[in-house]
Amino acid sequence: MNNAPIDSFWKLVSDNADQLRSLVNEESVLAQELLEEVQDHLADIDPHLTVFCARNEAGTGIELVFGCDGYSQSIDTVLFLVAAAPKLEDIKVFAFNPRVEQIPEAIEIGDAVLELDELFFGLRSVGEELHLDLYLEELPMLEDAPETDAALMFLDVIVGEYDLMTRIHSVNWLDLPEDPLDHGLKPLIELRQQFDLLRPKCPLLGEALH
């Protein structure tokens, strides 16, 4: 892998660490320009790379969470990028969105709001592969619809982005039947428990690095 774009990216982050630490407190034109520059540098490394910046729970610093927008072929790039991160005061770097204990009741993207109780699922094990069927009453026609993005964000916080990409072989989008419970479907809030029961027991290559 060519290290030059990665070295250039971390130099940009290091040179602008103070401004990055202030981004979560106050939005400004300059801050937006910096975020766009950060994303442009990530695209030079891999066009699928993403970064999310948020203040940590203690409020004393920020967290940079890197992902690859669901493209499993870019997992190694994320791991390599995070492994190459320098030590930065009050900035912690993570690979992939982790599970969260407090699952949100709703996720808002733009003008669209998707509530957790609108989603139902079925999880099937075929050999060593898990297949997830996701049911929504008003199924979006476009793959990049905000409702689709919100549903995937729910999956990230329930299962974890890394497990979602490496443990679930396929996600199928289906129209919600009139009586989902009668069809054997379960509310999405129950996915974590069922996933943990069915997930492959053998660790996958690279998991130890995450």
d(CA 5, CA 42): 8
Closest CA to 132 of 70, 72, 60, 198: 198
pLDDT tens-place string over residues 75-124: 999 999 999 999 999 899 999 988 988 999 999 988 889 999 999 999 99
d(CA 26, CA 36): 16
Q: How many CA atoms lie within 13 A of 13 on its CB side?
A: 28
**Other C-beta atoms within 10 Å of 124: how many?**
13
User: Residue 208's pLDDT is what?
Assistant: 39
Please give the pLDDT value at position 146: 86
pTM: 0.76
Confidence at residue 33, expressed as pLDDT on a 0 to 100 scale: 80
pLDDT at 67: 92
Task: Supply the pLDDT for residue 207.
Answer: 40
- Type of residue found at 8: S
The bridge status of strand 186-187 relative to strand 119-126 is: antiparallel
Instruction: Report the chain (210 residues): mean pLDDT per 10 consecutive residues.
Output: 87 90 60 83 94 80 88 93 94 91 91 92 90 88 77 93 91 92 95 89 43
Give me the pLDDT at residue 209, please: 39
Residue whose structure tokens are 């040179």: 15
